[in-house]
Structure 1
Amino acid sequence: MRRLVTETLPTLLDVEASGFGRGSYPIEVGIARPDGSRCALLIQPLEEWTHWDPKAELLHGISRARLQREGYPVVQVACWLNDELSGLGKAYSDSWGYDNTWLSLLFHHAGMLPGFRLEALRLLLSEDQQALWSDTKEALIAERGIHRHRAGDDARLLQLTYARTLSLTTPSR
């Protein structure tokens, strides 16, 4: 029998973007908190943020017009992230290279420094967890009917996958 995981969950962060590569920018940032709750904010694009990949929009389903209408200013999003995460000190991402780049862009344009570090999720995972990761994640998507490519939902999915792979690889006492 496997032990139930009762430790505090790591804080996971996910960023959705206008596309990939040069000129792309963050359009939504979401976090899954240690208690399992999640929150996400849409980001209002700055005037100079013009890159838009229609393929990315097909994935996340967020239009540029919606961002203009419902998005929060970059300063407000940066302040929210610092309020949420500075006390914890760090958050984790499964796409550290991309997410860290987009967060850096967000904080740069907000004229602020992040009060937390973003770390690669793989640093938390054992080899056994890594081996189970993909299948476990797909099973959770199917079981819970999770809609992918929205920042808050994706952050929570990563957190749930972490917890399940940990419980499957931790011997019972």
Structure 2
Amino acid sequence: MTLPILLDIEASGFGRGSYPIEIGLARGDGSVCAFLIQPQAEWTHWDPKAELLHGISRDRLAREGYPVKEVARWLNDELSEAGIAYSDSWGYDNTWLSLLFHHAGMLPRFRLEALRSLLCDAQLAAWKRTKESLIRERGIQRHRAGEDARLLQLTYLRTREAVAAMRRDTPR
């Protein structure tokens, strides 16, 4: 079974002036990849509270981050065939993705959709509890883009399986 591709972005903070610092994907086969992003010269906003969450420093981005154009090219290479990826924070992630592609001078060859559009009411009802359970079971490190994307994908899968099991067990 092919799973939906999940995308997650960690950022310099929230709101005006924030920008993407890490993008992670959980691919349809369940494999995960993530890239740190070198900030552009004009990307100066930095929220120390955000750094406490994700644990990525500006110095680390300067040392280990990839140029914006390389990350945009990688995303297009990864996602153009599928044509779509999903995010649980569409409003933020779409804004940061647009900023990345703008500064790369490229257009995305895929679209980003809200993960919510894939979920039925029963999945939504079980989402938070299921996600918290997976974090405990697997010892997932939160607020890193690749790990968070995979957590979303696993939560999607587990809630979908639970709904399917409920439907099988419900007399008609």
Does TM-score exceed 0.5, indicating one fold? Answer: yes
Equivalent of 2:25 in 28, 31, 36: 31
Root-mean-square deviation (CA, aligned residues, Å) is 0.8
Alpha-carbon offset, residue 8 of structure 1: 1.4
* 2:89 paired with 1:95: yes
* 1:128 aligned counterpart, secondary structure: helix
Bigger relative CO (Cα 8 Å, ≥ 6 apart): 1
- Deviation per CA, 1:61-105: give whole Å up to 9, x if none: 000000000000000000000000000000000000000000000
- Deviation per CA, 1:114-144: give whole Å up to 9, x if none: 0000000000000000000000000000000
- Which residue is 2:149 aligned to? 155
- Which residue is 1:4 aligned to? none
- Which residue is 2:168 aligned to? 172
* 1:19 aligned counterpart, secondary structure: coil
Runs (4+) off by over 4 Å: none
* 2:74 paired with 1:80: yes
Structure 2 gaps, min length 5:
none
Alpha-carbon offset, residue 51 of structure 1: 0.1
Alpha-carbon offset, residue 16 of structure 1: 0.2
* 1:39 aligned counterpart, secondary structure: strand
* 2:43 paired with 1:49: yes
Alpha-carbon offset, residue 110 of structure 1: 0.1
* 1:108 aligned counterpart, secondary structure: helix
* 1:118 aligned counterpart, secondary structure: strand
Counterpart-to-counterpart distance in 1, 2:168 and 2:146: 31
Correspondence list, 1:123-142, <5 A:
123-142=117-136
Percent of pairs identical after alignment? 76
Structure 1 gaps, min length 5:
1-6
Counterpart-to-counterpart distance in 1, 2:28 and 2:75: 15
- Deviation per CA, 1:11-39: give whole Å up to 9, x if none: 00000000000000000000000000000
Counterpart-to-counterpart distance in 2, 1:97 and 1:86: 21
- Which residue is 1:20 aligned to? 14
